[in-house]
Each structure stands twice: as structure tokens, then as C-alpha cells.
Structure 1
């Protein structure tokens, strides 16, 4: 069965997920990479769109509407006592040295770029990427530096977008493998509760395919820019239920008849 047929089967068939425990580990790893790619497609598309259409709007807003500011020693300071928010062409820029606005607030804005007290946030399509200033040791940044940086991005967007997409993909892939590994550990508990004989390697394969349904669901929600409350808990609840059903499809070991 090819990997795309497995994708379809894994949406609705715990029985097929159970059968996938016998396949090679290489194919399962490839499947995790495929799921990760699917899951980040909305983010990459929205990021590309926001970067392409938002550069001109951002330059206009920053130069004309934002007060002078600077980032030193991991903190934002600005000539304002309240958060400043400006919107142009469906792109929002936020400057908040007060700590009032959170990254969730930025995410709810849709396409937005925010300089917050301790971090900057880039949001696109209901999802956000957060970068603390502390990550950049010795960062000294001003309004004029930001304008120059925007001009640089505008001239190199054909290189920047693929590099950002690759970075997002690699980070997301690492996160996916960690999630599958943790789910497989949970599977060890489930298989003991259900009285099934399975190894961790088999459970890891099954865990990878159990991720299919919630991954596709949240990808669709991201594509239509719909935020799902408690998405973290819902994701884990669904994958655990799917893995439980898959383990339950495996026949119990036959009991030895003693004379």
C-alpha cells in the first residue's frame, strides 16, 4: 500500500493502523515527514502572502504612525505609554512596550507583526511564530534599523521565503517526532490495559498513523483561519483514542491450555 492510500485509511480505519505495525520503519518515518508537510502548508502559504503583501504596508505604518523605539538588553522601549496598533491593507502592526498585549492577541489579528515588551511575533492565518529578543544576544535595534531591515527583506524575499519555510518544516518535523515518541510511550500503558502483546517499535509505527485524523483536522481549520479552543488538549485526546482503538483491533494472545 502506498503512502497516500495509508493516509486515507488512517483517517477512518483503526484496523489498518494496527496492520501498519509490521511495515518498515523507514516508510513510517517518511509518513511522519509527509504529515508534517501537510500540517504546515497553511502557515507557509499565509506567511508567504503576508510577507509579500505586507512589506509595503509595514514600511508605511512604521515610518508614519509608530513612535520612535529601541530594543536593548532584551527589552522594548518606546516613546509611548500605551500600546500602538495600526492596520493597513489587512495587515496589522503592533508596538507594545507595556506588556499589555500577548502573543495570543496578536494571533487573533490575522496577518500581523508585533513588537512586544520581550518578544516579537509574526502572525499569519491564525497561527503565530514567537521570537524572544533574548534569543539574539547583544541585540540593539531601533526604528530606523527596522525600516532598513524591511527594505532588505523586500529585496531578498525570493530567498527568505524558502529559507523560512524550510526552517518551519524542520522545527515542526522535530516536534512531530517527539510527539509520536511520547504517544508510543502512552501506547505501552494502553496495550497493557488491553492485554495486547506489542513492542515499542510497533507502537511507534501505530502512533505515527494515529496522528493522521487530528493533523488533517487542524490543517483544515488553519486553512480556513478558524481558531480551535483548547487545540492542544483536543489533539492529544483524539490521537490517544485513535491509538487505543487501533490497539484494540489486535487479537489477544491465545492462552496456553494446561493439562
Structure 2
């Protein structure tokens, strides 16, 4: 039983050392003094039996755990600190991607619309001769024509027809006898009226009317003659930059006095 007593002593020493190591910084175990009376030397031929070996296994595990450096607590602390950092990193919003650049307008895209008018028949023929160089597509050119009336700068003196054609003929003969040249209109809206003259100045026309009234023919009248002409406007739509520049150059060349207008 001597070996069992020695084993108990060793266990007591290990437990005492473990308690000391838990309370104070680790010290060199070999530097601790042990009373000689507490140490029991075992004979060289001593061997522990199986039950003693099993009993000493937990003690060895305790000694190993006590002598091991504090790596596991430090590793656990580092791991605990890493988890919140990882969570904070994961909670950060992802960096915003740079906004994609807006699509650039396609080359040759329609950029302009112009109208060119009013063009007389002669000017229209001239302009249409230059239009093919613009290389227009279907639907890019529209044509709009209308009739316009404007004064011609001439003044017409006339006398309204009488109740019957025979009376009008008699009146015409009387006027001719008194020196007023005339004829009966037969081919327009004033059919049956007596035409007494066409003047370039309004004063001259009014002078003739005054002479007729003095002679007893007080129904003579003056009318400003109007001319009807056709005016055409060309509309150029959906022009690209090159076509717009060519159109401007064409307008300056063919009709300097008729400018292009935006539409």
C-alpha cells in the first residue's frame, strides 16, 4: 500500500498547485519547495497495476490542462470579437454601383422641321429642282397649296346694267356719243356691266366717275381689281443634321427673300 500512499500525496500536491495556478500567474512548478518528509521514494521495481493506471489518467489530464498555456481562452475571446465584427461588416449596405450612362442619341436621328413658303408657281418649280439633293425619305416632305387674292394696283370704272339688255345697249350707244368709250362685259362675274376703263391710279378712275356724274350718269362706280395667285408651302419634317444644313444652304441660294420657318 506504500505506492498508494505515495500516489495520494502526489495527487494532493497536484491539486494544491492547480489551485495556486488558478489564483496567481503561472509559476515554475519545479521552483516550489517540498518537505522531504512528504516525499516517498518508490523502489525501482515498482509498477502500478491496471486500476492505479486508470485512476491516474484523470490526474494526468488535469495536470496537462493546468500546464497548458491559456491559448483556448484567448482563441475564444478572439472568436467572440470576430463575430460582432463580421455581423457589422455584413450589415453595411453594399456600395452603390455607378449609374449607367444614358444612352447616347443615335447618329442621324431626326432633329429638325422647317417650312418653306409661300412659293409662287415659278419659285416652286425652282425649289423642287434642288430638293432631290436632300435625299429625303417617304413622309419627310409635305406640300400645301392655296389660292390667294391680292390687289393688282389697277382700278376699274364700270356702269351697272339696266333692267333689260336692250336698254343697256342703248345706254352704251349714248355714252359713246358723248365721248365715253365703253363696252358690255360678257365673260366674267360682271357680265352685262358697261366697262368704261381700267386705270393704274385711283385718282384717274375717280376723275372719270366725276365726269360721268356731271353728264347725268350718276351710277358709275370704281372697283379695285384683284389678282388671284396660288401660293405653295413645303414642309420638311424629321430632318437629320446633315439634311437640315443642306436645306438651309438651298434656301439661301434659291429664295434669299423667303426664309425657312421652324415648325
TM norm structure 2: 0.22
- Look at both structures and tell me which one has the larger radius of gyration over its CA atoms: 2
Which fold has the larger relative contact order, with Cα–Cα distance below 8 Å and residues 6 or more apart in sequence? 2
